[in-house]
A and B are shown apart, each in its own frame.
Chain A
Amino acid sequence: QQQVKQSPQSLIVQKGGISIINCAYENTAFDYFPWYQQFPGKGPALLIAIRPDVSEKKEGRFTISFNKSAKQFSLHIMDSQPGDSATYFCAASKRSGGSYIPTFGRGTSLIVHP
């Protein structure tokens, strides 16, 4: 059972375009939603995160939109650059034993053409 569904699996955009990646979750116990960026040969790096009491969070060119009632959230990358080419993972975290345990989406491979 895939608790966090991420789409699309791959995405190709032109430089300067907008990249949009979507995620949906089932479990309402999730209360922290981070996005990670992973380059080949590297571990995932935290990009931006949101909590369910906020509908949108923006950091530079990266924006998370969150729809609590629909149990969906998305990452928007504005003015996409070739350097943004990477795999992006959404995650939904819930507290367990005093810690936050994430469940990850399957990832989106983003290619930004110059």
Chain B
Amino acid sequence: KAGVTQTPRYLIKTRGQQVTLSCSPISGHRSVSWYQQTPGQGLQFLFEYFSETQRNKGNFPGRFSGRQFSNSRSEMNVSTLELGDSALYLCASSNEPGIAEAFFGQGTRLTVV
């Protein structure tokens, strides 16, 4: 069974640009969550989707957004990139939203220059 797949693995963007990251969950998993990992702030929850609906949102500005498609694949978008957005962005999937066990992808390393 394939794991959580995130694309691209690495990305370099210029300040002010926007970026879209993609996540394909484990087959059969319908809940997808996104996290930002930085050395300074650690792992922080961004948002969570289930059945194309955002169920939870972390404490991030509106420049961070996401969506989920009918096949459970998810994308997150960051607009007007800032240097501080440089981070490893991780996606995790779980079978049902009430199931606590989540499985992470390898992440997308975003560098903003």
* A interface with B by C-beta (< 8 Å): 32, 34, 36, 41-46, 49, 89, 91, 93, 95-107
Q: How far is the CA of A32 from the CA of B87 in the complex (A)?
A: 26
Q: How far is the CA of A36 from the CA of B90 in the complex (A)?
A: 13
- Is B11's beta carbon under 8 Å from chain A? no
Q: Can you list 25 contacts pairing A with B, beta carbon distance less than 8 Å?
A: A32-B100, A41-B106, A43-B4, A43-B90, A43-B104, A43-B105, A44-B90, A45-B103, A45-B104, A46-B103, A49-B101, A97-B97, A98-B50, A98-B98, A99-B55, A99-B56, A99-B97, A99-B98, A100-B97, A100-B99, A100-B102, A101-B33, A102-B102, A104-B42, A104-B43
Also in contact, A34 and B101, with CB within 8 A (given A41-B106, A99-B56, A101-B48): yes
User: Which residue of chain A has its CB nearest to the CB of B50?
Assistant: A99
* B interface with A by C-beta (< 8 Å): 4, 31, 33, 42-45, 48, 50, 55-56, 90, 92, 94, 97-107
A45 surroundings in chain B (CB, below 8 A): 103-104
